[in-house]
Each structure stands twice: as C-alpha cells, then as structure tokens.
A and B are shown apart, each in its own frame.
Chain A
Amino acid sequence: MASQEQNTRQGNKKGFRAWLQKLLAGIPLIGWISGLFAAVLIEYFLGDLISYYLGLPKIPVLFGFLTVLKKPLLMPGTIGYLILVYGLPILLIAKSLRKPANKLAAFLDKGPVSVGAVIHLGLFYGAMHFWTDLSDYRLLVLKLTMIAIMLTLSINVINGYMGEFSCSHPGFMALGAYGASTITLLLFANDKLFGDALLPEALGLYFFPLALIAGGLIAALGALIIAIPSFRTRGDYLAIISLAFLFIVKSLIENLEFIGGPRGMSSQPNYSNLPMVFIVMVLCIWIINNFVRSTMGKALNAVRDNELAAEVMTVNTRKTKIIAFMFGAFWAGVAGGLFAHVLRYVNPGSFGIQRLAEILAMVYFGGLNSVTGSIVGAVSISILSEALRPLEIYKWIIIPLLLILVMLFRPTGLIAFTEFNPKELMKPKKKRIEEQ
C-alpha cells in the first residue's frame, strides 16, 4: 500500500522504473545471453539491409558512437538501428524464452558449476564470434577489452584486495610482452632480430600458451623486486618503489639492443586470435575469483585492513604479500603477452605512465576488491575510450571528468567490495511477487 502511494506521489518516473523492473524480472542469465546471440545473428544477416533502410552508410561498428560523433545528423538512424537490432530482439527473445531458459537454468543449477559456466560461456563466445566477424575493428577492440579485463583484475589483486598502491603494472605487462614475444619470435618466426624460425611454424599456436606462461613467470619474478621491500614499508613509499620499478623496466628494455631497444619488436605471429584471448581471460577470471574467495586469498584483505592483527592470527603476512605481488604480476605478464601478439608490435613506449593511468582508471572506476567491478570498469573505460575517439583530444577531458564524478558519488568505485559467485549468477530467476 505504502509503495503504491509513493508511486502516485512521485509520478511518472517511479512508475516507469517499476514498469521496467517488472518487464525485466524473471529472466535468467542464459535468457539474456540467448537474446544477445539472436540480436547478433540478426545483425549478421540483416544488418546491411536495416542500415540501408535507415539511411546509414554502413553498419554502425561500435554501437553507433563513431557514426554519431562524426555525423550528428545520422543520430536518429543510428538510434533506430540500435533499437531494431539490439534493443528489441534482446528484450523480446529474452522475454519469450523466459520459461525454457528458467527450466534450463534450473537443470544446470543442479549439476556442477563448471558445466553451467561452460554452456553460458560457449553461447556468449558464439555471440562474440558473429559480432566480431562483421568488422576487424570490432575484433581488435574486443580483444583489447578482454586484455584490459585481465590487467584490471590482476591490479585489483594488489591495489584492491591487498590495498597496496602499486604503480608497476605496465612494467609487469612489459616483462610478459617481451618474454612471450622473444620466445615466439625466436622459435616460430622468421624476423630481423632472431633470424630464422627454430621450430616448424605449425607448432606455434600450441606452444603459444606456454610462451604466455613463461612471460607471466618472468613478470612474477620481476614482482619479487617489489614484494621484498613491501615487508618493511607500505603506502606512499611502496608506491614510489613500484613507480621506480616501472621506470627501471622501461629503460632496461630501451637499452637492450638484442630485443630491439627503443624501436621495439615487431612481426610477432598472429597467435592472439579471439578464442585464445577469450579462453585465457576466462581462466584468469576463474583462477583469480577462486583465489580471492578462499581463506588463503582473504588473507590479503586481512593484511590490508590490519597487518599486525593478521600476523598475530597466524597469517604469514610475508608469504601473503609475495603471493599477491607474484600472482598479480603473473596475470599482468600473461595479458602483456597477449597484447604483444594482438598488436603484433611492442615498444617500450607503450608501457609508460599513460598505460598506468589507464589501468588505474579502470580499477578505481570499476571498484576495488571486486571481480565484477573490475570487469565493469575495464569494459566501460575501454569501450568509452574507443567510442570517443572522434573527439580526439577532448576524449581526455571527458573520461577523467567521469572518473572525478564517480569518485565524488561512489568513492570506492562503481561496484566495490562484492563477491563474484558464478553459481548465484546463473541461477534461475523467479518472477517477483505480484501485487497483493
């Protein structure tokens, strides 16, 4: 009764929100993914036709941001396209598949989480596959976004879960990128730096995960340089040490001629294809999420909130710090390896302060101490910085401004201090209780 009164008093907005909530309730995750899959298929087969009738020169590549910013007059057509191709199909199909989707979700809920996760992810990957098939630009943006998710999650382990302000993440990334690139170039590619391939090129793709792991391990070893000082100091001082580490790595690479010096390394084989990046990212999310939900991982939080209490409660704080730094650096290194093979070119300049600012923006925007927050932060900042590309220099006014606003209204980021529970996420959704 009370809520109804409020409804009438607050007028339309509240009513609209309630209506929207009612409309969207009761659809499980798999329903939404099926909707997305259908929408992507519609775009794949009918996209050209729809955009032709709406007066658009071609299919809007990145949700129409680029089209609208370049030619504002195309805005109605773009919005129409978004509604026709994404909005309506997703909504209608998710809504109409509600019952079977809920049944399927209930069935998967009984089985092990891994089976359900594989089915969800498979469907999602299918959607991504068709979505990126339409343009190479989309493919590149998507791959870089997935790499950004890995970077954000891995820095969240150190900056969020353990609460040390580490600035060395681009350094770890560089170590991983150069480590993995050196291995693939040396073994599988004919290039200027290392000469002819030592192994047949056909083996390359199978060895690539090993090269990524090797790159990650090199980054993890580098992280020891910061982990050991972290026993004795923390806060600002450790931040400065980690910043110093970033510069050391950068100038080291600039001065080592055998890996290309300031000119960088190029012509890496094209191993970072979409399935590879997707699988590595899923593994990264899964492993990090497992770790931070275990008591051993929660030890990071204990060290952050009160190191003395943690130590006296039998937590081995030194081991915990080493694990956190090496673990975070490992995934940053793996992400760096993927990054090098996506762009097929790395130079020391791409691992500087600019990159650090980007990663920090993602993690603080999305939210500390939260896997969901990291994903949200990484996706929104990377998509936004691509979408606003036509604004050129003004892009770097809008994004920081957004960051300031988020910090003002949500000081810990959008979604901070939450636990990411895949089982909970994939659960069948019951419709909310109808009006009494």
Chain B
Amino acid sequence: MALLRVDNMTHYFEGLRAVHNYNLILEPGHIVGLIGPNGAGKTTIFNLISGIHTPTEGNIELDGHNLIGHYPHKIASMGLGRTFQNLLLWRHMTVLEHVKMACYSQLGYGVLGAFFGSRRCHKEEKRITSKAMHLLETFNVVQFSSQLAVSLPYGAQRRLEMARAMATNPKVLLLDEPTAGMTPDELNRMITIIRKVHQDFDVAIFMIEHRLKFVMDLCERIQTLVFGEVIAEGTPDEIKNNPHVIEAYLGKEDVT
C-alpha cells in the first residue's frame, strides 16, 4: 500500500490554476523527485500536501489517513516532515531549542505541568533534550547546540533544518530544494546525508530539486511538472531522454 497517495489534486489561487490533476503514489522506502521550471507549482504541491493550503479538488492520504481539512500541525504530527526552500529558522532560538521545538506534539505534559514545573514536565524535557542532542549528533551540528541558529554557516543551517524535520518522527519527508545555494562540495555531502537519513530513519522521501545530477543520483522515480501539470513521469533515464522534458527545459528544437 502506498504511504503517501495524492489523487486528482487540483488547486486554484483566485482563478489562477496552480495545480491540475496531480497524482502521486509514494511507496514506503522510495525516493521520488519533482522537477520543473520556476513557477511550475512545485512548492504549491508541497504546501497542499502539508496542509498550508487546502486543495480545491482531490484527495490526499498519508498511511491510510485522509489529510484534507486538517491543520498543518496535525498533518505534521501524523508523520509528514518537511523542510523549506528558504530555510525557515526561528531568529531568537538556539540550535537545541529548534530541534526540541519540533518535538512539541510528543510532549507528555500539559499546560499546567509547564506552569508549575511538574516532575513529569522535567522528565519530558530531559527526554526530548537527549533525543534532540542525538539528532544534532547525527546531522553533525551538535557543536553549535547552544548557539543561535541564524548565526550558523549556511550548510549547517540546512543540516539543522533536516534535523528539525526528523525530530517530528516523520514517515514521509518532503525536501524543498535541499541544495539551494550550495557549493559542489556541500552538494556531495548533502547526497550522503539524504542517503543516510533514508536508510537510518526508514523514511520515504519526496523532494523538489533543480540540480539534475542530484535528482538522478538519488531518486528512483522522477516527475516533471510544467504549468501545474505532470508532463512526464518515470525513472531518471526515461526522464533524461523524454522529448517533452527537454522541450520544457530547453525550448523547442527548430529544425529548418
């Protein structure tokens, strides 16, 4: 059974059709890529899946649960982690606090516990602190744990964002351009990290990416989105040689 399943999803922004008849089946343990020119609606699809927008039509299921109409935080705690294209970090919070914050839905104490500093509250805080430290170690940012996240080097910020997303215990991870603005060196390191996450945490990954080398390396299947519609879907090799894809990226070949 598919872990994440999107059926016939269509979305309009005030009459502008952003996504049309979009379908996705993500099997457990798979990595699927989504490519397409700027403005094709890739991030919109992510926002629709994670509940930031509600699709005009269509259905989204995660592990058999319908996601339509739920708030994003509910969807996230059901097992959908994501990162953002433009790193949405919290300005005044430390690295450790970032990862702890993503454990919000797993907190085993209530508001009153937080007010009165109950024993349970202290225990839970300790538990998520050690979980967060473990994640920081995995993503190799543990040395920054007490620094403000915004003061970190760019690559470390990207890794922190991954650690934060993994703290929500996702079954499916959505990565929105994980290599945006990276040097080739950092890019290779990112490939290793994503492979590692994929194996160690047993998540299915759905990612948006512009760099074809990166997508071809990692993904089992690739979708190409142009003007909100999928024009091609297949293995990396099929996509590489698909004339529609070449046309969308490079323009029509004029043979005269």
Chain A interfacial positions (CB closer than 8 Å to B): 287, 290-291, 294-299, 301-302, 304-306, 308-318, 323, 369, 417
Contact = CB atoms under 8 A, between A and B. Distances in A.
B252 interface: no
Contact of B101 (A291, A298, A304, A417): A298
Contact of B73 (A290, A294, A312, A369): A312
Contact of A296 (B73, B114, B165): B114
Contacts of A306: 88-91
Interface of B: 50, 52, 71-73, 76-77, 82, 84, 88-93, 97, 100-107, 109, 111, 114-117, 121, 125, 128, 164-165, 167-168
8 contacts: A294-B125, A296-B109, A299-B101, A305-B91, A306-B88, A312-B82, A312-B84, A314-B102
Contacts of B165: 313
Given A295-B101, A314-B76, A314-B104, 15 more contacts: A290-B115, A294-B109, A295-B103, A295-B125, A296-B107, A296-B114, A298-B101, A302-B93, A302-B101, A305-B91, A306-B91, A309-B90, A312-B73, A313-B73, A313-B165
A289 B193 CA distance: 38
B73 A317 contact: yes
A301 B92 contact: yes
A261 B50 CA distance: 52
A297 B114 contact: yes
B111 A313 contact: no
Given A305-B93, A314-B76, A295 B100 contact: yes
Contact of A295 (B82, B90, B128): B128
A231 to B, nearest CB: 10
A309 B89 contact: yes
A75 to B, nearest CB: 44
Contacts of A318: 71
Q: Which of A291, A299, A318: most chain B CB closer than 10 A?
A: A291
A290 B115 CA distance: 6
A234 B77 CA distance: 25
Contacts of B114: 290-291, 294, 296-297
Nearest to B169: A314
